[in-house]
Structure 1
Amino acid sequence: MHEFRHAYDTHLRGHLPSPPQAGAVHLRDRFLDGGRLTRTHYGTHGVVDHGPLPPGTDLPALVARQRARFAAHREPAHWPVHDHDPTGLAPALEAAGFRPGAERSVLVAELADLPSPPPPGDEVLRENDRVSAQAVRRLAANTGPHRRPLTEHEADGTAFENRTLTLVRGTRVTAASWATLRTGTPFVVLEGMTSPRPEFLGEWARHATSGRVLPLWWVWTQAEARLMAAEIDPAAQPDLHALLLDSGLRRIATVRTHTWTPPGTPSRTRPVTELHDDPEHDDVWDRFTERFFFTPSTTVFPGIVEPTPSTTWPVRAVTGDPARISELNRVVRRALTAGVPPGEHLYSLDWQHIGRRYDPRRVGGDERPRHPACAFPDGDYSLNLSHDLRLGTFGHPWEHGQGTLCVFGRELLDVVAADLDRLLGAPLRRDGRPAR
């Protein structure tokens, strides 16, 4: 048990996710000497995660620093406290207004020791997909509590580290499980399981240790993971708790999450949401293609029927100069923010790549996710759009030798045209016609 707990404390607690979770910001507490604490801001809530705290840590001051940052973001804060943390940590949290939740068991096992029974003959194990996604979400919402809700698991974006498996009988999803490979550590973390099915455990182990390069699983198969960790509330999920213990997982600790809620109403969505291979992403692209007659080609220009009002500039004046490209992106980002009212989301799209929906007033700057908008067409079509397509930008990577940038919508042009004239020079076209 001590070896497992040491591995858990060393590798998992205070771990910085790699890659970062979509729409989240992961920060270290730079005032904590000799320890490792990560504070994550999701925009909807926040989480504190830390390894063993050094002796003599000023616990009330540590708690006050984290709570102040969550208050500044208006985020409810969640702080897991393990039974081997300093005895003064829980009282310091409660004195600061944090309320303790239910106690959970922390379980760890060697992946190689997990059972791998095949599913019954009428069931099939498979990767979750668009067809089964809604059924899996219903199962997840009606079961638990899970270590991490499926909604958060999915909100992390298209990271290969996050996978979801299903058991299917005919056309019906009978059970689901989701897990995360913690890159840079030896751990796979079991985030949720809708019913106690040992078949999932063996499948997670197989994918993490097979050594074969599999589509969508290549990160797992190359990571050389050897341990699984799980957190289960034995009072709420006694059957799952019993299954995991019977399957070889050993209890190494208990943990209780303390929660603090600030005044006001927190946001219901993260500042940035990744969109890829889903209906919303397809809808925006389809409507853009239909309205602007988008024609992807390396020889057909300008690529769209440019609307009125619009202005198109060549981008050769900044090509090859990272500082000027960054300035171009900053100028367009400021204009996009000014061009939409508070609360309206925008889309940043990249041809044949992951797209993003984001709130322009909640990205960029300290303790915020990086602004996803990119105006410069760096090797492929780059778009920034409002949902109703009334304003946006279209970057063509090949037109005019080194690319062009079309800006459309009066709200956007009024704010950005003078800056783009300064950065890019004289326009090529206005309203789709040669500029004079």
Structure 2
Amino acid sequence: MVERLPEGANVVGPRAVVRLKQAEYDRVWDRFSKRFGFRPGMARSTWPAIREPVESVTWSLDRLDDDPGDVQLDAMVAAVHAGLRECTPPRGTLLVLDWQHECFRIRPHRVAAGDGSVWVPSVMPDADYHIHLAENFSYGTFGHPWERTLCVMGSPLLDRVGGSVKVEPPYTAAEAVKRLRGHDGRSCCSMRRSLSALRSVS
């Protein structure tokens, strides 16, 4: 049986993109929901939809509205893709989750480098949550379609992406604290660590 690849996938090696079968699809989403407290919803009361890890930075995609030619968008996507590839061992895999759609396991080193179309779905949210994660969930991204944000998680990925993304971090310190208190309920210590991460990549 020939594996049906997502439209737009551009591979350079065998089994670069493999669709998750239903049983594994269910297991992965169950793991994700329990680990990150996933609460999908369009209402602001459900945002940011996950418990964002302390080792994470969230960028507002609203900053990309004034982006002639999608220059900043393309650069951001390229930086995140490069970071994910660098974090993943040569024979390693990533989970690519698309809320309520087919999900995949990809081998980043066998997927062609270049524009976002070769990574399907893109790390950028497009009417659904788009999630790229290490198999052990130690690093990855979470794209929120209604809050219009991209959360980059895990020190290995932040170390590679933070200095490359030229889009401003989404909030001032006061705004970040307000958002964390409103949606996450983390301790003041955790908030300070998150704000330090925001400053370190600005």
| TM-score category, normalised to shorter length | 0.7 to 0.9
Q: 29, 37, 49: which is aligned to 1:303?
A: 49
Amino acid at match of 2:146: W
Is 2:123 aligned against 1:375? yes
Q: Which residue of 2 aligns with 1:341?
A: 89
Q: Secondary structure of 1:379's match?
A: coil
Q: CA deviation at 1:425?
A: 0.5
Is 2:166 aligned against 1:418? no
Q: Which residue of 2 aligns with 1:288?
A: 32
- The whole-number CA distance in structure 2 between the counterparts of 1:371 and 1:303 is 23
Q: Which residue of 2 aligns with 1:353?
A: 101
Q: CA deviation at 1:323?
A: 3.9
- The whole-number CA distance in structure 2 between the counterparts of 1:373 and 1:333 is 12
Relative contact order (alpha carbons < 8 A, sep ≥ 6): 1 or 2 greater? Answer: 2
TM-score using structure 2 length: 0.73
Q: Secondary structure of 2:118's match?
A: coil
Alpha-carbon contact 1:348-1:374 (below 8 Å) kept: no
CA RMSD of aligned residues (A): 2.7
Q: Which residue of 2 aligns with 1:317?
A: 63
Q: CA deviation at 1:342?
A: 1.6
Q: CA deviation at 1:348?
A: 1.5
Q: CA deviation at 1:320?
A: 7.0
Alpha-carbon contact 2:98-2:121 (below 8 Å) kept: no
Q: Which residue of 2 aligns with 1:208?
A: none
Q: Structure 1 regions of 5+ residues with no counterpart?
A: 1-151, 160-266
Alpha-carbon contact 2:132-2:141 (below 8 Å) kept: yes
- The whole-number CA distance in structure 2 between the counterparts of 1:325 and 1:331 is 10
More strand by share: 1
Q: Secondary structure of 2:78's match?
A: helix
- The whole-number CA distance in structure 2 between the counterparts of 1:158 and 1:394 is 19
Percent identity between matched residues is 36
Q: Secondary structure of 1:406's match?
A: strand
Q: Which residue of 2 aligns with 1:79?
A: none
Q: CA deviation at 1:364?
A: 1.4
- The whole-number CA distance in structure 2 between the counterparts of 1:308 and 1:344 is 25
Q: Which residue of 1 aligns with 2:75?
A: 327
Q: Which residue of 1 aligns with 2:10?
A: none
Q: CA deviation at 1:294?
A: 0.3
Alpha-carbon contact 2:131-2:142 (below 8 Å) kept: yes
Q: Which residue of 1 aligns with 2:188?
A: none
Q: Secondary structure of 1:418's match?
A: coil
Alpha-carbon contact 1:385-1:393 (below 8 Å) kept: yes
Amino acid at match of 2:156: E
- The whole-number CA distance in structure 1 between the counterparts of 2:65 and 2:134 is 26
> Per-residue CA shift, 1:230-252, capped at 9, x if unaligned?
xxxxxxxxxxxxxxxxxxxxxxx
Q: Secondary structure of 1:307's match?
A: coil
Q: CA deviation at 1:373?
A: 5.4
Number of residue pairs matched by the alignment = 168
Amino acid at match of 1:419: S
Is 2:4 aligned against 1:156? yes
Q: CA deviation at 1:309?
A: 0.8
Q: Which residue of 1 aligns with 2:153?
A: 408
Q: Structure 2 regions of 5+ residues with no counterpart?
A: 8-12, 185-190
- The whole-number CA distance in structure 1 between the counterparts of 2:6 and 2:153 is 30
- The whole-number CA distance in structure 2 between the counterparts of 1:377 and 1:319 is 14
